[in-house]
A and B are shown apart, each in its own frame.
Chain A
């Protein structure tokens, strides 16, 4: 008996130790709860006084930040955080247009190849000035670290970027040079209409050279191992738990920043997020389609159309090499039924490659509206082309495999498509093959499928991020699709410096892809169903990464 009592004491003591080492937030954090919640009543009066004058928003994220090293960052959460704690030469405004930020002035040579930036007087949060060397060092470092977005430098055409990626040159030969402390010179291989736009992307942000070198391998692993030059500083980062932004008093434009503090909680389960929203512990959450019905009439409910697209690739092999077969399949699917009945989460049917509300022409028109809709659902036409295709192939029908990732949305979509095709195209047999996401990618890249349900999100805010996927042997093509005329148009668009002419080329390329070649079947465009407190204003959300900008957010 005595022994057992001892054992219990050991257990109890162990629990206490564990509790002590459990990294609960300190008292300073419990005081930052939303004023409506129960917890803030219990915080000390000091904290309560502070809270009344401070504006605070509590947000949620569905995962931890993978990394805050701008050379390695690769996901929307990381890019959003970097966009708010750091700043590059340009920053996107509320209309998603790049505006000078850390650069005060930007001169371009007549041939469009040499860009000279004059930096404004700005400091890192440790007091060091932000210098041109910091940019040069950061950009070269992206290649040394083999960061996932090093290809962005190739997209823009920074001198030697392609050669470095091919292993022919060293990162040190990248076409970027600091002429003096405040002057940065970038040399391009060809004039680039995307350059300004891409300078808002975190991979192009500077890092504080001396600080990074001092930190070595530990740089950016914790909030304490970072210095900031953006609108906010990262005051706190508890892994897998959440992080806290605080206004950066040293930011050059700190007068425009209105939020004192923004807390982000990691919440991975939608039902949990809903419960937290109900208890006013958080102020903005993402809903899943199961909750849309319940909340769609609430004044907090918002549906935000997003540029992520879901579409089907054809292998362009065997039966799928026949354009009439592809055309028939494109016409046979009623996409409206899919989005309104099956998905019912605000997704929008898409009859084009470039999504709605993503890109606007130089005179302000939506790319999608300009090019209209291609291959709109029409069963009679579908059957006509189907028969034509079958006759050309000399068969009565065939069985095919539809590959899809095994997530909920794609499974539903695949089942719907199987049903539509078997109903509308006599003689087709569709087998659904469900595989894990990474398997789907491997099958896609090896072109070991008949048709596959794929997704794509934009890398930057320009139609080209969708259009140049389909060039012959391009890394995102993943089909045996090749059209020299299409390739030529993309090549011309890369080099075209006249914005209107370039836009025309991209519109035409999309038309060829869908109206002549029926190369893919666009299905729908994603939408986010969101609950947000109506008094939160000025939160900018861009269509491509970096997604969120809290610089101008405020509470009404």
Chain B
């Protein structure tokens, strides 16, 4: 196991380097300059600025400088926010994104989990159709439509919660709910179909034949096995939601990372684009790794040692 983890960490580092390299060179294809106020910038000024920020040097030189600084843990400074460090920007913005995203995943997973179980156990009844309908709607209605409706009714019309902004905990509730819809739908759908499959497996029939109570069969035999595909989707989903979503952050005026990332691309803020890409990728790779480890815990048939692998 230790060797496996070690190997994976090595692969992770290589993956990150490849991502950084590709992003670095692709970014150069963006039209324009990273400097502010491009409409008014004269060629003379542009020359001065390029010289000051080392952008007049050969690209390959800039690349190695960047990677060199990266190894020292320095992500550089932003162009659009003159001189602010990229690390600081990321850590400032990730908090709000992670809070609403975390709440959405947590709440969405629990609700989706129960919806899925109910609809599997009450297959082809009104409960099943009800939760399937919820799941389909949740997948197909974009979260910003739902967000705008929540904001208008709960925030403006009924005045139960603040409509937008970011001042105290209660401001995080509406955006979290808006984001959780997609999670509910995804989890419910996966749990339902997996459980239906597992319910027909031989070992469930065996367990029942042994006279084990229905509750124990469902919790320990059925749900446990149905969790595998859910965890596979939930991990990456959690990363993408917790690192920020452009639309929800904009609608609820949340100072999050997703909105910042988009903005940086629009204004060619090279160091911020690279920094956030690196951050996203690292988190993503990490969560995939964690999910792999979790597989082994949930389903002993999956062995991570590499050598002996039972047929699953």
A30 touches B148 (CB 8 A): no
B82 touches A275 (CB 8 A): no
- Quick one: which of B270-312 are within 8 Å of A by CB? 297
Q: How long is the Cα–Cα vector from A266 to B164 in the complex, in angstroms?
A: 11
A314 to chain B, nearest CB (A): 19
Q: How long is the Cα–Cα vector from A15 to B268 in the complex, in angstroms?
A: 33
The segment from A62-70, A105-113, A297-305, A417-425 found at the interface with B is A62-70
**The one of A30, A272, A476 that contacts B167, using a Cβ cutoff of 8 Å:** A30
A75 touches B151 (CB 8 A): no
Q: Which residues of chain A have C-beta atoms less than 8 A from B52's C-beta?
A: 146
Q: A30-B167, A268-B250 are in contact. Are A240 and B40 (CB under 8 A)?
A: no
B242 to chain A, nearest CB (A): 9
Q: A66-B80, A150-B45, A475-B43 are in contact. Are A268 and B106 (CB under 8 A)?
A: no
A25 touches B95 (CB 8 A): no
Is A52 on the interface with B (CB-CB < 8 A)? no
**The one of A19, A21, A148 that contacts B40, using a Cβ cutoff of 8 Å:** A148
Q: Mark A164-194, 1 if CB is under 8 A from B, else 0.
A: 0111000000000000000000000000000
Is A11 on the interface with B (CB-CB < 8 A)? yes
Inter-chain residue pair count (beta carbon < 8 A): 157
A455 touches B92 (CB 8 A): no
A66 touches B81 (CB 8 A): yes
Is A238 on the interface with B (CB-CB < 8 A)? yes
Q: A146-B49, A269-B253, A438-B38 are in contact. Are A22 and B96 (CB under 8 A)?
A: yes
Q: How long is the Cα–Cα vector from A64 to B92 in the complex, in angstroms?
A: 13
Q: Which residues of chain A have C-beta atoms less than 8 A from B43's C-beta?
A: 475
Q: Which residues of chain B have C-beta atoms less than 8 A from A18's C-beta?
A: 95, 98-99, 102
Is B194 on the interface with A (CB-CB < 8 A)? no
A11 touches B92 (CB 8 A): no
Is A432 on the interface with B (CB-CB < 8 A)? no
Q: Mark A64-102, 1 if CB is under 8 A from B, else 0.
A: 101101001011000000000000000000000000000
Is A50 on the interface with B (CB-CB < 8 A)? no
The residue in chain A whose Cβ has the minimal distance to the Cβ of B294 is A7
Is A122 on the interface with B (CB-CB < 8 A)? no
A441 touches B42 (CB 8 A): no
Number of interface residues of B (CB under 8 A): 60
B38 touches A266 (CB 8 A): no
Q: Which residues of chain A have C-beta atoms less than 8 A from B148's C-beta?
A: 271
Report the interface size class on chain A.
Answer: 35 or more
Is A532 on the interface with B (CB-CB < 8 A)? no
A75 touches B37 (CB 8 A): yes
Is A38 on the interface with B (CB-CB < 8 A)? yes
**The one of A24, A67, A279, A475 that contacts B166, using a Cβ cutoff of 8 Å:** A24
Q: How long is the Cα–Cα vector from A30 to B30 in the complex, in angstroms?
A: 42
Q: How long is the Cα–Cα vector from A166 to B47 in the complex, in angstroms?
A: 10
B207 to chain A, nearest CB (A): 16
A72 touches B44 (CB 8 A): no
Is A255 on the interface with B (CB-CB < 8 A)? no
Q: How long is the Cα–Cα vector from A64 to B81 in the complex, in angstroms?
A: 9
Q: How long is the Cα–Cα vector from A38 to B39 in the complex, in angstroms?
A: 43
B40 touches A14 (CB 8 A): no
Q: How long is the Cα–Cα vector from A275 to B171 in the complex, in angstroms?
A: 14
Q: A39-B162, A272-B164 are in contact. Are A148 and B37 (CB under 8 A)?
A: yes
**The one of A146, A239, A271, A459 that contacts B255, using a Cβ cutoff of 8 Å:** A239
A-B contacts besides A239-B81, A438-B38, 8 pairs, CB < 8 Å: A21-B95, A30-B167, A275-B155, A275-B164, A276-B164, A279-B159, A438-B31, A475-B43
- 5 smallest beta-carbon distances between A and B, as pairs: A438-B32, A240-B255, A67-B82, A475-B42, A439-B31
Please list 30 pairs of residues, one from A and one from B, whose beta carbons are closer than 8 Å in the complex, sorted by A's number.
Answer: A15-B99, A19-B169, A22-B172, A24-B167, A72-B83, A146-B52, A148-B35, A165-B44, A166-B44, A167-B48, A221-B84, A239-B81, A240-B255, A241-B165, A266-B255, A267-B165, A267-B253, A271-B148, A272-B164, A272-B252, A272-B253, A275-B163, A275-B164, A276-B165, A436-B31, A436-B32, A439-B31, A439-B32, A442-B32, A456-B39
